Amino acid sequence: MSIDQTTVARIAHLARLKVPLEEQQQVAGELSKILDWVAQLNEVDVTGIEPLTNVNDMALRLRDDVVTDGGKAEDILANAPSKTADFFTVPKVIE
Amino acid sequence: MTQLTHLSITEAVTRLAKKEFSAVELTAAHIKAAERGQAETNAFITTTFDLAQEQAKASDARRAAGTVGALDGIPLGMKDLYCTKGVRTTAASRILDNFVPTYESTVSQKLFDAGAVMLGKTNLDEFAMGSSNTTSGYGNVVSPWSGAEPSKAARKLVPGGSSGGSAAAVAGRFAMAATGTDTGGSIRQPASVTGIVGVRPTYGRCSRWGIIAYASSLDQAGPLARTVDDAALMLRTMAGFDPKDSTSVNQPVPDFTTATGQSVKGLRIGIPREYRIDGIPAETNALWDKGAAMLRDAGAEVVEVSLPHAKYALPVYYIIAPAEASSNLARYDGVRFGVRVPGDNLISMYENTRGAGFGKETRRRILIGTYVLSAGYYDAYYLKAQKVRRCIRNDFEEAFKSCDVILTPTAPSTAFAIGEKQDDPIQMYLEDVFTVTLNLAGLPGISVPVGLGANGLPMGLQMIGRAFDEMTLFKAASALEKAAGFTATPPFMG
């Protein structure tokens, strides 16, 4: 199992991560090597085994449905690269 | 007077109580050492000496008023993955170069509530992804250790990773202890290669709230310290239930400091036969045998156990951890915090920001994670890995039927030179071959310094305990520490 340059471009776009065209071939090689190495898991028979998602096998706790936090617009915006009044601002998305 | 920077926390707490010196004096000695240490090792990304002096003054005031905490006046390093209110927090990533949290992580808050003093934010591998502290966006950390052979003495060695800055500061005697996080070995491996103690507690023991996430089902906070007693005291302060972390476990925190020094007579020490793997230096295995003999001499019973799926732990980790990382790191998009790189439209702004802000290893793991979670590959990689993960945990459950603690090497070898293992990511990943298994099973582990390699560099042994049985782990670790009598110090000390 190996991934090619086209696949790198596709997953880079899915991850919203710019991988310059001239680096894609090399990245494909590196990722393929890692994926070939993890392919040794194919040796393991996992018939009837449930996937493990939480080591402590606990149910998520529920709490009362009440407001416990809020009113911190200033804190939340404190690190924003770009803001206007109480809003984050981004490049125009609707023409 | 003994040099203040060479005291254990336990000694310093006693002598502060006797008013032999003040917190201000203790902190001043550490700041002086840390200034030299920083120039030598680059252990900190941000130093907070002014804050430390204020905190030390406040500690002395509390002492005068008779209201001190368990770590009052003790100068610590804080891994720069813990969000600290008003103090820049980078995760060693340039994407967070300007990030100043408006809140405090639960664990750092607990340390401050106990009176701890913060010397600075310690360096790490970017987003805790690495075993050498060479993926940091803020420069490599240089170990305070260097090889005994003159020809090699000039080589700069890694302090391990990802908690490399914390390890260097504690080993180099310019922080009395430090916080770390351990996702695949990031506390224990640096502790092993710098000759100190590192503890990763049971998953759910310490709150993850406010600690920048790498792989949430594996991440745990823990301490790096110079003695098992100090590590027990640190962990007792750091641990505890937190409603703000949905995976925090509501269990009472025992006083780990009462476990140390107790007899290990009759304790069953498991030696997993699958940990004898090809390519491991003979001296690593010899030290492991020696450690088992020490515990046997102390009255423990040594038994062979089996962890048949151990060899699959690293491949499982390199599916699950990148998958979780790709999801966790999606938040760095140049909108809410961090550095933004402009683009022609919203999508290209995201892509430019993330492409420029993340380093090479972080990018690699995001791409792997995105791939294994993508349509058509999820079952083959991610689901499969989660199933093998259960096999690994089942192995431990089976093994702990016939033993109380498992003993293994911590790292494959002594510290390597900066620049080694850079060309082949898999070679670097193998650094965690002994440590990563217990992260997948959620178990606690500790690394204790036991001896020196032929090159004069420290080597540790790892002990693994049952979930939430850190008490037995500390008891066994303390017996090993006592028997090993490790007193070697690095050539550089602040």
- CATH value at residue B215: 3.90.1300.10
At B150 the pLDDT is 55
Q: What is the residue type of B272?
A: P
Residue B116 lies in a domain: yes
The secondary structure of residue A88, as a DSSP letter, is E
Structure tokens at A55: 């080591």
B75 touches B108 (CB < 8 A): no
Q: Is the dihedral of CA A60, B198, B283, B397 positive or negative?
A: negative
The DSSP H or E segment spanning B458 is strand B458-465
Residue B428 lies in a domain: no
Q: What are the tens digits of pLDDT across the range B59-97?
A: 999 999 999 999 999 999 999 999 999 999 999 999 999
SS3 B185: coil
Using CB atoms and an 8 Å cut-off, which of residues 458-487 of chain B contact chain A?
467
For residue B307, the chain A residues in CB contact (below 8 A) are none
Q: Where are the alpha helices (DSSP H) in B358-435?
A: 360-373, 384-399, 425-429
Q: How many CA atoms, within 13 angstroms, populate the side-chain half-sphere of residue B132? A: 24
pLDDT at position B137 over 50: yes
Largest CA distance in chain B: 70
The DSSP H or E segment spanning B449 is strand B445-452
Angle of helix B9-17 relative to helix B23-41, nearest 10 degrees, comes to 150
Q: What are the tens digits of pLDDT across the range B363-391?
A: 999 999 999 999 999 999 999 999 999 99
CA B14 → CA B18, B72, B74, B231, B308, distances in Å? 6, 11, 11, 16, 46
- Structurally, chain B folds into a number of domains equal to 1
Q: Which of B165, B188, B213 is closest to B41 using CA atoms?
A: B165
Q: How many CA atoms, within 13 angstroms, populate the side-chain half-sphere of residue A77? A: 12
At B152 the pLDDT is 58
Q: Mutate which of A55, A56, A86 to test chain B, going by most B C-beta atoms within 10 A?
A: A55
Average of per-residue pLDDT across B256-274: 98
Q: What are the tens digits of pLDDT across the range B286-310?
A: 999 999 999 999 999 999 999 999 9
Between CA B72 and CA B78, with CA B73 as vertex, the angle to 5 degrees is 95
Min Cα distance B69 → chain A (Å) is: 29
Between CA B408 and CA B414, with CA B413 as vertex, the angle to 5 degrees is 120
B293 CB-near residues (< 8 Å, 6+ apart): none
Place of tokens 């560099």: B457
- CA distance linking residue B440 with residue B392, whole number of Å: 7
Query: Per DSSP, what are the bridge partners of residue B445?
Result: B200, B464
Percentages helix, strand, coil for chain A, rounded to the nearest 5?
A: 40, 5, 55
For residue A78, the chain B residues in CB contact (below 8 A) are 100, 102
Q: What are phi and psi of A63, to 5 degrees?
A: -130, 165
Nearest residue on chain B to A73, judged by CA atoms? B102
Active site members of B: 79, 162, 186
Q: Which of A41, A20, A17 is closest to B351 using CA atoms?
A: A17
B347 CB-near residues (< 8 Å, 6+ apart): A16
Structure tokens at A78: 């404190």
For residue A39, the chain B residues in CB contact (below 8 A) are 315
Residue B411 lies in a domain: no
Length of chain B: 494
Residue B421 lies in a domain: no
SS3 B197: strand
Q: What are the tens digits of pLDDT across the range B391-432?
A: 999 999 999 999 999 999 999 999 999 999 888 888 899 999
Structure tokens at B51: 């804050």
Average of per-residue pLDDT across A45-59: 92
Range of the domain at B54: 4-262
| Yes or no, beta carbons of B364 and A63 under 8 Å apart | no
**R_g over Cα of chain B:** 21
For residue A7, the chain B residues in CB contact (below 8 A) are 371
- CA distance linking residue B373 with residue A15, whole number of Å: 11
Task: Give the model's confidence band at B476: pLDDT under 50 very low, under 70 low, under 90 confident, else very high.
Answer: very high
| Yes or no, beta carbons of A33 and B334 under 8 Å apart | no
| Yes or no, beta carbons of A17 and B334 under 8 Å apart | no
Q: Which residues of B302-315 are buried (b: 16+ CB within 10 A; e: fewer)?
A: beebebbbbbbbbb
Average of per-residue pLDDT across B321-336: 98
Nearest by CB to residue A52, choosing from B98, B334, B393, is: B393
Between CA B84 and CA B96, with CA B90 as vertex, the angle to 5 degrees is 120
Residue B473 lies in a domain: no
Residue B41 lies in a domain: yes
Task: Give the model's confidence band at B1: pLDDT under 50 very low, under 70 low, under 90 confident, else very high.
Answer: very low
Q: Which of B460, B412, B463, B459 is closest to B433 using CA atoms?
A: B412
- CA distance linking residue B171 with residue B373, whole number of Å: 40
Min Cα distance B134 → chain A (Å) is: 18
Min Cα distance B56 → chain A (Å) is: 28
At B463 the pLDDT is 98
| Yes or no, beta carbons of B350 and A16 under 8 Å apart | yes
Q: Which of B221, B269, B260, B198 is closest to B458 using CA atoms?
A: B198
- CA distance linking residue B195 with residue B303, whole number of Å: 27
Q: Which of B321, B315, B325 is closest to B433 using CA atoms?
A: B315
List the end-to-end C-alpha distance of chain B, in Å, as a whole number: 17
Residue B444 CA, distance from chain mean position: 12
- CA distance linking residue A63 with residue B30, whole number of Å: 44
The DSSP H or E segment spanning B178 is strand B177-181
| Yes or no, beta carbons of A81 and B339 under 8 Å apart | yes
| Yes or no, beta carbons of A55 and B336 under 8 Å apart | no
- CA distance linking residue B380 with residue B395, whole number of Å: 22
At A50 the pLDDT is 96
- CA distance linking residue B217 with residue B229, whole number of Å: 28
pLDDT at position B154 over 70: no
Query: Is the bond preceding B162 in cis, omega lying within 30 degrees of 0?
Result: yes
Percentages helix, strand, coil for chain B, rounded to the nearest 5?
A: 45, 15, 45
Share of chain B above pLDDT 70, in %: 98
B394 CB-near residues (< 8 Å, 6+ apart): none
Residue B362 lies in a domain: no
pLDDT at position B451 over 50: yes
Q: Mutate which of B219, B332, B353, B367 to test chain A, going by most A C-beta atoms within 10 A?
A: B367
Q: Which of B125, B242, B360 is closest to A19 using CA atoms?
A: B360
For residue A54, the chain B residues in CB contact (below 8 A) are 217, 247
Q: What is the residue type of A58?
A: M
| Yes or no, beta carbons of B390 and A50 under 8 Å apart | yes
Q: Kindly provide the ipTM of the predicted complex, given to two decimals.
A: 0.96
